[in-house]
Chains A and B, each alone.
Chain A
């Protein structure tokens, strides 16, 4: 997206230790407050740039690592229709990762740099993908719950203040509209199926429910960046607001197909017009963030393997292009 000036990444940035011009900051904050879009070559505070690169690359990494749990079932999809749908969905995730990396690249960080940050463990990705997909029902649960939660996070980002990010999100949201539906359809089918299929569906809901709630991030009072991110329009709703919205929307969907949400504290609160629900196990959340998710090692191993084994291919194509360009030049 637009020119990526990798050499000029510090052009607009404050030199370390030197304060940024308060007039520039004020003008920037006013533009953002007026819901104007910030574009790659516009002046922006260094902290805004850094926050954006972190958020966009995390988002991109999540898409790419997110291909693995579902990819685990592509070869075993139960019929041809489901196989095609799953292939198309996992492919979409590759595309979404690509759009997001491109958006982040407009800020002067290359995709290779971001990939290396992921592989070295320096960069984070959504904790949800460090849980395993054990049965076919997990593919349904991921589409329904994980994509459902992701959509809730992503829809407001279509109006995020950074133009390339917002435009990437518009495309992503449009493409993802089928993801949640296909997941729910799988669950619906299983929940109305044989006893074994019902058991599979309920078990998947039991395992994916809480990790899905964790996808919205820590509670608001423990989310130090939220306030500034909201002011910068990088984020448009708080974690707890989105989590509540997700619970309120999802619980009736579970009930409609005869599945039980695994939360004894779950109860409709007439007064609030919302569900009360139990406390997320935040200790588990922080452990998974730290890389202690059940299959975190497998996920990183798979990404590392693809990266390492692809190196000769990337190199060959680059060398080939150079050879042909040189030959063409010589012929002219």
Chain B
């Protein structure tokens, strides 16, 4: 896969894995309305995954469509960031993941909606509306839980603490990013960090929460070196396609 296809693949994998995680909530949320909210976010992510993986397959031009990419690759070939594959945990942990990721996605797609490559720009422009809402929704929950009860605050702190080590990976640049920028499709993610910090900090302040202490970042997702969680997620998600390789659905 060339750099541009890999770039699309990473975007698709991020959305796919997060959509998969959010789908696990369906039917089990703290309130009926929240169930609907989380599933809306899941649906948006699955939609983004479909577009970006489809684009990756088209650029690769080797006969793999979005489904082939989603359901017929093993852990090493998945390029999502480690943040999105983290387990749901309790509601606070899920919100922490969503909060950190949606603000990143919103900043990323704001820029990507303006890139020269219309394929990327079009998907980003559509997705931007979705993820802006996700960022608001997640931020509001961070504030409610952070400035709610003693228990909810403790859980929100723990949720952020779990996720924080994976935040730096979102902004790491490598050869694939450089090539995508050169091709008029990519975004300089390192330039998003300051604004991301500002947005995160503003919400945390409103939530009466301290910013988690910096720590050694955990990296590797973009290179296929994942957490233990991803393999289990894939074995569940890919079960039918693996058990019945000659079937279509």
Q: Which residues of A contact B (CB under 8 A)?
A: 64, 67-68, 71, 74-84, 87-88, 90-91, 94-95, 97-98, 101, 111, 136, 186, 189, 193-194, 196-197, 302, 305-306, 309-317, 319-321, 323-324
A-B contact count (CB 8 A): 144
Query: Given A78-B249, A94-B35, A194-B246, are A316 and B144 also a contact pair (CB < 8 Å)?
Result: yes
Does B46 lie within 8 Å of A84, measured CB to CB?
A: yes
Q: Is the CB of B27 within 8 A of A94?
A: yes
A306 to B239: give the CA distance in the assembly, Å.
26
Is the beta-carbon distance between A79 and B71 smaller than 8 angstroms?
Answer: yes
Question: Across the interface, do A189 and B31 meet the contact criterion of CB distance under 8 Å?
Answer: no
Chain B residues lying within 8 Å of A321, measured Cβ to Cβ, are 144
Is B20's CB within 8 Å of the partner chain A?
yes
**Residues A197 and B149 in contact, CB atoms below 8 Å apart:** no
The residue that B20 contacts in the complex, of A68, A75, A312, A323, with Cβ under 8 A, is A75
CB contacts (< 8 Å) of B46 on chain A: these are 80, 83-84, 87
Known: A90-B39, A309-B90. A98 touches B149 (CB 8 A): no
Query: How far is it, in angstroms, between the C-alpha of A150 and the C-alpha of B167 when the chains are bound?
Result: 46
Interface centre among A68, A78, A81 (most CB of B within 10 A): A78
Residue from the set B24, B27, B236 with the largest chain A CB neighbour count within 10 Å: B27
* Bound Cα distance from A111 to B33, whole angstroms: 12
Given contacts A78-B240, A196-B247, contact A309 B35 (CB under 8 A): no
Smallest CB separation, B233 vs chain A (Å) = 8
- By the criterion CB–CB under 8 Å, are B149 and A319 in contact? yes
Q: Is B220's CB within 8 Å of the partner chain A?
A: no
> Does B122 make an interface contact (CB < 8 A)?
no
Say yes or no: A315 contacts B246, CB within 8 Å: no
Instruction: Enumerate chain B interface residues (CB-CB to A < 8 A).
Output: 16, 19-20, 23-24, 26-36, 39-40, 42-43, 46-47, 49-50, 53, 66-67, 70-71, 90-91, 143-145, 147-149, 151-152, 155, 236-237, 239-241, 244, 246-249
B84 to chain A, nearest CB (A): 15
Could you tell me if A79 and B239 are in contact, using CB atoms closer than 8 angstroms?
Answer: no
Given contacts A314-B31, A320-B148, 13 further A-B contacts (CB under 8 A): A67-B26, A77-B240, A80-B67, A87-B39, A91-B35, A98-B32, A310-B30, A313-B145, A314-B30, A315-B149, A316-B149, A316-B151, A320-B144
Q: DSSP class of A's interface residues: helix, strand, loop or mixed?
A: helix
Which 4 pairs, one residue from A and one from B, show the smallest C-beta to C-beta distance?
A310-B30, A316-B148, A316-B152, A313-B30
Q: Quick check: A79 and B35 within 8 Å, CB to CB? A: no
Q: Is the pair B30, A309 in contact by a Cβ cutoff of 8 Å?
A: yes
| B28 & A193 in contact (Cβ 8 Å cutoff) | no
- B24 near A310 (CB under 8 angstroms)? no
Inter-chain contact B152/A91, CB cutoff 8 Å: no
Please determine whether A84 and B50 come into contact, CB atoms closer than 8 angstroms. Answer: yes
Across the interface, name the chain A residue whose C-beta is closest to B71.
A79
A211 to B87: give the CA distance in the assembly, Å: 36
Contact at A101–B35, with CB atoms within 8 Å? Answer: no
A residues less than 8 Å from B32 (CB atoms): 64, 94, 97-98, 101, 111
Complex Cα distance, B143 from A76, in Å, reads 33
Q: Which residue of B lies closest to A63 (CB)?
A: B32
* Chain B CB within 10 Å, residue with most, of A91, A186, A309: A91
CA distance A83 to B20 in the complex (A): 9
24 contacts between A and B (CB under 8 A): A67-B27, A75-B236, A75-B237, A76-B240, A80-B46, A80-B53, A83-B19, A84-B47, A87-B23, A87-B43, A91-B39, A91-B43, A101-B32, A189-B248, A193-B248, A196-B244, A197-B244, A302-B27, A306-B28, A313-B30, A315-B149, A316-B145, A319-B148, A320-B144
